[in-house]
Structure 1
Amino acid sequence: MNIIREVSAMRAWSRQKRAEGKTIGFVPTMGYLHEGHKSLLSASVQETDATVLSIFVNPLQFGPNEDLDRYPRDEERDVAIAKSAGAEVVFAPTVEEMYPNEMYTTVRVPALSAMLCGASRPGHFDGVATVVSKLFHIVQPHQAFFGLKDAQQAAIIEKMVQDLNMDVRIRTCPTVRESDGLAMSSRNKYLSVEERATAPELYRSLEQVREWVEQEEWPIGEILQKWRDRLQNMECAELDYAEILDYPSLQQPDLNLKMKKGQHRWIAACAVRFGQTRLIDNVLIGTHAKAETVRQTGGNAICI
């Protein structure tokens, strides 16, 4: 396993691979890997000649009262997981290496960043887009792999790549879940026993929304209200948002209309706080909403 910490060394490795005619797959992460990350690595290993995993807890995407210092870190474990999954390189730069000088440049996709998680985390997606742009320029991948659990992030990255003519293909892969439906997340470790028992209700509620949509009996606004009422009645939890939007444009549909699953693609997305731990989840509904879930109990992630 090759661990690279310098930007210059990472660029040199990528230039050499490209000179050899090899395709590079890239999985950007903040570390503390779980089965969801492993599914992205598996997809990259299957589809490209050489896979790079980055580990970088990006300070630009954390607000002043968020959990930057508390974010879990275990590089030795992450490197072992990356190696076992078939990655060739772990790119693990320091903050000083990534940001040696004060940053004057920010990459923004404002039309997609103001809603959902962006509404309660101002500046978060500016930090995400900026660091991913930097990583793409450093690693120079042919393909980059992102999970649909962070569907808003994936939509923002796809739009950034399209608008800026970046020479990288974005591949989105299914959400990987625990056997009870809870979406895998590095933050799940912070849940108390009671909170962990309640958290799978997020996905159960999303499955209910999908069922309501497929019945085509209620307008969108009524479905939203029924769903929000259900989430607000969860024990030991506080609702941040629950929205149904067009995907990937993230525009709000007419709330008075009934949704017809065969005509469009929507995202039903929610965020809930359990104490200091904020969890997000979503499902895609409608045209081309391929299977976006993989249970931990088996199956490989298939990217779309």
Structure 2
Amino acid sequence: MKIAVTGASGFVGGAVCRGAVAAGHDVLALGRRAHLDPEHVAGAPYRAHDLTDAPALHHDLAGIDVVVHAAGPASDTLPAQSHWDAHVGGTRTVLAALARDTRLVHLSTASVYDPRRPTVRAREDAAPVPAHPDAYGAAKAAAERLVRGSRPDAVILRPHAVYGPGETTLLPRLLAAVRAGRVPVPGRGPRAVSLTRIDTLVAAVLAVLDGPAGVYNVADAEPVELLAMIESVLAARGVRARPLGLPVPLARATALVAGVCARVRGTAPVLTRYAVRHLAAERTLDVTALRARSGYAPPPTDVLDAADW
């Protein structure tokens, strides 16, 4: 099968390229970087691409069977317009460039669920919600609506908290938050969270390449307890620190101050209002549809091995 992967220069897109090559597919890697280490995409042909250029993309996608759209930053610290340009504008360009007989696998996020209330074993029909308080969730929800409105034959995947070797967001921010043997975590008490190992996400992508259209949550088999998971990850990295639960009002105030300080310094804040909303409550996904319709059964989360991060 001939597969094109957008966002191939990133963590997820590169992993999808490597997995697809290993599975015997003919892969074309597309990314925003001018040059890329061939090992990042397992030697697949790589082309630097501007996702605002639909005609050029249409030319490159000629003869492609499936496009895996993985482009766009997974960050809650960028300006709102950056998210809109990348996720909505980029998706609009991909849709305009697709031939009618080309399959689209669109990588979305569990952030399209309502962050203002706990996400408890959420099923796919619970999102996207009409409005989001953060730019990332709003942009990803709008991109999903574009896909569902113009390509009902597409597959949309919603992973949550993707981790694994080469991950550049979750672990660095966790390590940066360590202070005097403690890691401040919004919310008090235990709460469950679904994680998605990068291998789980890649296997899900490969499973839906020619499977039924639809929207699928993607996560490891069962949720884990957030605070215990953080402690395990830190221990696996040799960091002596324990999570410290913060009352949500205090966490919100801390995020506000951190945001102001980060803007003054020109750095990314360690804690954001987005993170407070997502960490202070349960965030778990129901993966029944993925198992039933694609035949893929996700493995359990294993965060005890430092190599996983």
TM-score normalised over the length of structure 1? 0.35
TM-score normalised over the length of structure 2? 0.34
